[in-house]
Amino acid sequence: MIANNIFKATGEFFTNVLFAPYDALRSMDNWWLQSTVSWIFIAITFTAFLYWLGELRKYKKAGNE
């Protein structure tokens, strides 16, 4: 009984609190504002990829292969 309530509470928290900004973005008419979150994630991923390549280059220059 308690486990069922915990799962229901977790589901309601994610649906009603954490995903509320996404529901607001979905109802907008402007594509650029709707895609802002995706562009932010793409920029973060691209930055992390470039950092990773730089670290690999340092590792290879140090003679570790």
How far apart are alpha carbons 37 and 57 in whole angstroms? 31
**pLDDT interval class at 17 (50, 70, 90):** very high
Q: Is the pTM of this model over 0.85?
A: no
Work out the widest C-alpha separation in the chain, in whole angstroms.
59
**pLDDT interval class at 10 (50, 70, 90):** very high
pLDDT tens digits, residue range 24-57?
A: 888 888 888 889 888 999 999 999 999 999 999 9
Which helix (DSSP H) or strand (DSSP E) does residue 36 occupy?
helix 36-61
- Residue position matching structure tokens 């650029």: 32
